[in-house]
Amino acid sequence: MFFKTIDFSKYSSIKVGQPVEILMIEEGDDIPKDRYLIGGANNLLVSPKPPSLMMLSKDFATIKEEDHILTIGAAMPTGRILSYTKKHDISGFEFCSKLPGTLGGMLAMNAGVKEYEVFNILHSIKINGEWVLAKEIKHGYRFAELGGIATHARFKIQIGFDQGLLDSLLNLRSNQPHQPSAGSAFKNPENDYAGRLIEAVGLKGTRKGDMQWSDMHANFLVNLGGGTFEDAKYLIDLAKEKIFKKFKVVLKEEIKLL
Ligand SMILES: Cc1cc2nc3c(=O)[nH]c(=O)nc-3n(C[C@H](O)[C@H](O)[C@H](O)COP(=O)(O)OP(=O)(O)OC[C@H]3O[C@@H](n4cnc5c(N)ncnc54)[C@H](O)[C@@H]3O)c2cc1C
């Protein structure tokens, strides 16, 4: 293992944060229990005082095909998974298009689009050195109780990359803002949409400093330039408070605040 300084104002998708020393885990290392693991930081909001952090090194950015099973390392970026599966005519990963991150982040978040989620195609995950079947892991809409660090995952190979599906899922992103963000800030509550609620309490387009509830898609917190953690936190708390007051709905963050 070795240390690397990562500047979250550049590395994170929302471009908020500062340089932080990160412990980089290499193949064969014992993974520390007292550090928080990050992936590609596409779902994170880093505070000025984050917990001690670690990350899987490129040793875990692997992809291997054997006996109709695809084994992928948790540091593998989703874009590379998509290009591999397209090239090899493998189906199931089309929803990874424009879903930024690493496989590890996808597993922990049970990331997905509409009814397409990573757990639907997953066979098993190597967690803290042991292979665990996907069906034995509690998971649901944007969560999975991995109970440890995922280093690899296995998928049964199904032939037939579906370009039509990819194109239709990409179409859904046409109302997605282009400014830096961490994707959806809140999970959708049951039978409703967080974006609708944010709009209904008049916060769509509301700005604090350089952070804004997007005027394009209200559930996206966007950074207009020099946005800070404090500004983002202010807007998140304001939305939760107003929505609870008006609708008695408790919104839960999808973004992880560190
Ligand atoms: C423009 C944009 C669009 C997005 N669209 C979508 C979308 O359509 N659907 C969707 O689901 N998400 C979406 N997201 C959110 C984000 O892409 C996903 O949550 C993604 O899976 C995060 O991956 P990451 O590697 O960046 O994880 P990070 O943000 O670094 O971490 C997320 C969580 O995963 C945990 N984690 C990471 N690696 C591991 C590991 N190896 N083992 C255990 N835990 C781990 C971290 O501890 C953290 O809790 C979007 C984000 C952006 C910026």
Residue 190 annotated among the catalytic residues of the structure: no
Task: Find the catalytic residue in 117, 142, 154, 214.
Answer: 142
pLDDT of amino acid 175: 83
Query: For residue 184, which of 215, 218, 210, 212 has the smallest C-alpha distance?
Result: 218
Tokens 């899922």, residue located = 169
List the pLDDT tens digit at each of the 258 positions of the chain: 999 999 999 999 999 999 999 999 999 999 999 999 999 999 999 999 999 999 999 999 999 999 999 999 999 999 999 999 999 999 999 999 999 999 999 999 999 999 999 999 999 999 999 999 999 999 999 999 999 999 999 999 999 999 999 999 999 888 899 999 999 999 999 999 999 999 999 999 999 999 999 999 999 999 999 999 999 999 999 999 999 999 999 999 999 999
- How many of the other CB atoms lie within 10 Å of CB of 54? 20
What's the number of CA atoms in the CB half-sphere (13 Å) around residue 237?
8
The b/e string for 14-24 (b: 16+ C-beta within 10 A; e otherwise) is bbbbeebebbb
| CA–centroid distance, residue 246 to ligand 1 (Å) | 30
Task: Find the catalytic residue in 12, 94, 124, 254.
Answer: 254
pLDDT of amino acid 30: 93
Secondary structure of residue 77 in the 3-state scheme: strand
| CA–centroid distance, residue 109 to ligand 1 (Å) | 6
Residue 184 annotated among the catalytic residues of the structure: yes
Query: Which residues on adjacent β-strands are paired with residue 71?
Result: 64, 154
Q: Which secondary structure element, helix H or strand E, spans residue 246, and what is its range?
A: helix 229-247
Please state, in angstroms and as integers, the Cα–Cα distance from residue 178 to each residue in 15, 141, 220, 257, following that order.
13, 25, 10, 22
What span, in angstroms and rounded, lies between the C-alpha atoms of 169 and 151?
28
- How many of the other CB atoms lie within 10 Å of CB of 235? 22
The pTM (predicted TM-score) of the whole model is 0.93
pLDDT of amino acid 104: 98
Ligand 1 pocket, residues with Cβ under 6 angstroms? 13, 37-44, 56, 74, 99-102, 104-106, 108-109, 111-113, 142, 146, 149-150, 181-183, 256
The answer to whether 104 and 56 are in contact (CB under 8 A) is: yes
Q: Which atom of ligand 1 is nearest to the CA of 146?
A: 43
Residue 142 annotated among the catalytic residues of the structure: yes
Q: Which atom of ligand 1 is nearest to the CA of 111?
A: 11
